[in-house]
A and B are shown apart, each in its own frame.
Chain A
């Protein structure tokens, strides 16, 4: 397997009246061709910003992004437009990400028109029909408007639009968070089928840990802009090493009355990401924090095969 996407010390800061908000801080990760990489974290941890910075929907402040071995950190203009054919995004909210005044056919076909992919009207309509079949939308809906659909089918329209130009890498930004569980399962199955059929590589951003375990091969956990742990999906759930990951996992309510486990309640809430000082950002809430944690930022260390942790104490006796 080859690496399709890689980031090196990627940073994204936003300017605010109070100083710079460090939304993404030195994130280095790799995604292999054909796999699904899950990105989990709580609201405000920078997971969506990371996805958007990789896609050039936001310009990175520092660091590098490589796609298919090529440095795409500073691509502009025509080159960037060409890149869009290969990298796409599915948005969280299927209500606000579809133009209410365009029909389903127009929404799905818009990328074809922008990139002048199809040569004739027949080819254009045929491609739209193919895409609708692919995502399970009935042909009779081609002239309907987004408001006529429920959330699940609206999300299918968004998926068809993302697949339109035949991309090989798609960022899925919380694609099922706005949906009911029964619909959520349909969309997750659809994404997995499409991935197998088209050989897609997915970066799956979510706050839902059971969803991410189900769909990903590797998982990255983010906290306040930093990558704190990266591991194979199952390994993360059985053998998490970072104190934040442990607390996060223990906080998920399990739908069973026999699940007995110790809950680690972490006190307090996220500290401010504006002009953060040095040191581990989780230190203020971490039950094991020492002076070292408050003074120096921990680097990612490989403590098991493919299992990386950014914690001074992980692996040692503590």
Chain B
């Protein structure tokens, strides 16, 4: 894939969950692009809508409640929101694949791991059973699982090894885009370091692009090229690693950094983000962060700011940016 070509283009995406009690506005007007070979980090807290965006791209939103209300998702120039279930099945696993947070529930507990991967290969490629089995062994070897263990069942592996199997499965058909939803949150730090290194190595070797969903800014700093900070279903700040880590501009991004205890600086008191988390079923009229924002003013309560480009490629959605005060 050419490095400058846009692989994934999400434009004005709006996703709602509808129940008979309320409409939850999970994703509100989100737009971003991922280029070939690039990694975009999607950062935010629980309930910000990170996973919903991933599920919308995979077309895996819960059937009865989740709905793409507006917007388009283009993968390699083709809008995949309008594909039929059957056409989407051909895309999923071959062009886009996903690594889930919890490796145990992502694997079939009553199927040997090599068979699970071979099944996927046979679904997307016309190869014989024997070839599929051989390819499955090969990819398992790449993620560090020796052939003598390939015939075991998921429960025989530890958490880190299971996540390796899931990674092998996601990369089995060399997808163009890999979506990793909190791939290391369930793992210990030393295992996390192994798994992140593995993902990075394999991704670089195959030129795959990645959408990495996480709440850990440390993981972002080590893995991503660009970052989108998401709050209440909106991208509040978007830019390169340098824009976000050295020139964080949105009050929410700044707050996020201030809440993390530092490993090398002494801080007497942490600065928590005060106020209750926003309720996506009842979003405020103005800026959705204004209830917790230390810099909020009266205008923030009623006026919903639009994204402003404060530097080339660095977008901030805040009244302060609109007024040129950042």
Residue from A42, A150, A207, A252 in contact with B276 in the complex, judged by beta carbons closer than 8 Å: A150
CA distance A253 to B255 in the complex (A): 19
On chain A, the residues within 8 Å of B274 by CB distance are 186
B17-60 interface bits toward A, Cβ cutoff 8 Å, 1 = contact, 0 = none: 00000000000000000000000000001100000000000000
Q: Are A251's CB and B189's CB within 8 A? A: yes
Q: State whether the Cβ of A188 lies closer than 8 Å to any Cβ in chain B.
A: yes
Question: Are A257 and B245 within 8 A (Cβ)?
Answer: yes
Which one of A185, A234, A255 contacts B221 once the chains associate, using CB atoms below 8 Å? A255
Whole-angstrom distance between the alpha carbons of A253 and B241 in the complex? 15
Q: Name the one of B159, B241, B259 contacting A184, with C-beta atoms under 8 angstroms.
A: B259
In the complex formed, the residue of B with least CB distance to A254 is B218
Of B215, B255, B261, B276, the contact of A211 (CB 8 Å cutoff): B261
Distance to closest chain B CB from A262 (angstroms)? 12
Within 8 A of B (CB), among A157-197: 180-186, 188-189, 192
- B193→A257 contact, CB < 8 A: no
How far is A192 from B267 in the complex, measured between Cα atoms in Å? 12
Q: Are A256 and B221 in contact (CB under 8 A)?
A: yes
Would you list which residues of chain B between 237 and 287 have a CB under 8 Å from chain A? 241-242, 245-246, 255-257, 259-264, 266-267, 269-274, 276-277
* A263 CB–B CB distance under 8 Å: yes
Selected contact of B197 from candidates A182, A183, A248, A265, CB within 8 Å: A265
Residue pair B193, A251 in contact (C-beta under 8 Å): yes
Minimum CB–CB distance from B89 to chain A (whole Å) comes to 35
B81 beta carbon closer than 8 Å to chain A: no
Known: A42-B190, A257-B242. A185 touches B45 (CB 8 A): no
A237 is an interface residue with CB less than 8 A from chain B? yes
B220 at the interface (CB under 8 A from A): yes
Min distance, Cβ B195 to any Cβ of chain A, angstroms: 11
CB neighbours of B267 from chain A (8 A): 214
Q: Which of B189, B220, B255 contacts A252 (CB 8 A)?
A: B189
In the assembled complex, which residues on chain A have CB atoms less than 8 Å from the CB atom of B259?
181-182, 184-185
Using A237-B263, A265-B197 as known contacts, say yes or no to A255 and B245 having CB atoms under 8 A apart. yes
A184 to B197, CA, bound (A): 28
Asked if A210 is an interface residue, CB under 8 A from chain B, the answer is yes
- The answer to whether B263 touches A254 (Cβ under 8 A) is yes
* A266 and B270 contacting across the interface, CB-CB below 8 Å: no
Rounded to whole Å, the gap between the CB of A61 and the closest CB of chain B is: 25
Q: Is A286 an interface residue (CB 8 A)?
A: no
Out of B242, B270, B276, which one reaches A188, CB within 8 Å? B270
Complex interface bits, B212-250 against A, C-beta within 8 A gives 1, otherwise 0: 000111111110000000000000000001100110000
- B204 at interface (Cβ–Cβ under 8 A)? no
- Name the residue among B255, B259, B276 with the largest chain A CB count within 10 angstroms: B259
- Does B5 interact with chain A (Cβ within 8 Å)? no
Given the complex of chains A and B, what is the CA–CA distance between A234 and B263 in angstroms?
9
- The docked-state distance in angstroms from the alpha carbon of A189 to that of B268 is 9
| Chain A positions within 8 Å of B189 at CB level | 42, 207, 209, 248, 251-252
Q: A189 contacts B261, CB within 8 Å?
A: no
Q: Mark A191-226, 1 if CB is under 8 A from B, else 0.
A: 010000000000000010111011100000000000
Q: Which residues of B contact A210 (CB under 8 A)?
A: 260-263
Known A181-B260, A185-B272; contact A207-B216, beta-carbon cutoff 8 A: no
In the bound complex, residues from chain A placing their C-beta under 8 Å from that of B264 are 237
Instruction: Decide if A43 is an interface residue (CB 8 Å cutoff).
Output: yes
Name B252's closest neighbour in chain A (CB-CB).
A182
B residues less than 8 Å from A248 (CB atoms): 189-190
Taking a contact as CB atoms closer than 8 A, the residue among B194, B220, B242 that contacts A255 in the complex is B220
- In the bound complex, residues from chain B placing their C-beta under 8 Å from that of A250 are 193
Nearest opposing residue in chain B for A43, CB measure: B188
> Does A269 count as interface, using CB distance less than 8 angstroms?
yes
- Residue B101 interfacial (CB < 8 Å): no
Bound-complex Cα distance A209 to B160 (A): 20
Contact A252 B218 (CB under 8 A): yes
Structural contact, A255 and B217, CB atoms closer than 8 A: yes
* Most chain B CB within a 10 A radius of its CB, from A183, A185, A253, A257: A253
Residues in A neighbouring B194, C-beta threshold 8 A:
265
**Cβ–Cβ < 8 Å partners of B215 in chain A:** 180-181
How far, in angstroms, from A188 to B261 measured CA to CA in the complex?
10
Q: Say yes or no: is B108 at the interface (Cβ < 8 Å to chain A).
A: no
Which A residue's beta carbon lies closest to that of B48?
A180
B158 at the A interface (CB under 8 A): yes
A181 to B46, CA, bound (A): 10
A265–B269 touching, CB < 8 Å: no
Task: Among A181, A263, A269, point to the contact of B256 (Cβ < 8 A).
Answer: A181
- A247 beta carbon closer than 8 Å to chain B: yes
Q: Is the CB of B269 within 8 A of A257?
A: no
Task: Determine whether the beta carbon of A256 is less than 8 Å from that of B190.
Answer: no
B285 nearest CB across to chain A (Å) = 23
Further pairs besides A184-B272, A186-B272: 10, Cβ < 8 Å: A42-B191, A43-B159, A43-B188, A182-B255, A182-B259, A210-B263, A211-B261, A251-B193, A265-B194, A266-B190
List, sorted by A's number, 5 A–B pairs whose CB atoms are closer than 8 Å.
Answer: A189-B270, A189-B272, A253-B218, A253-B222, A256-B245
Q: Identify the B interface with A (CB < 8 A).
A: 45-46, 158-161, 188-194, 196-197, 215-222, 241-242, 245-246, 255-257, 259-264, 266-267, 269-274, 276-277
Q: Which 6 A-B pairs have the closest CB atoms?
A: A253-B218, A214-B261, A185-B272, A255-B217, A182-B273, A42-B188
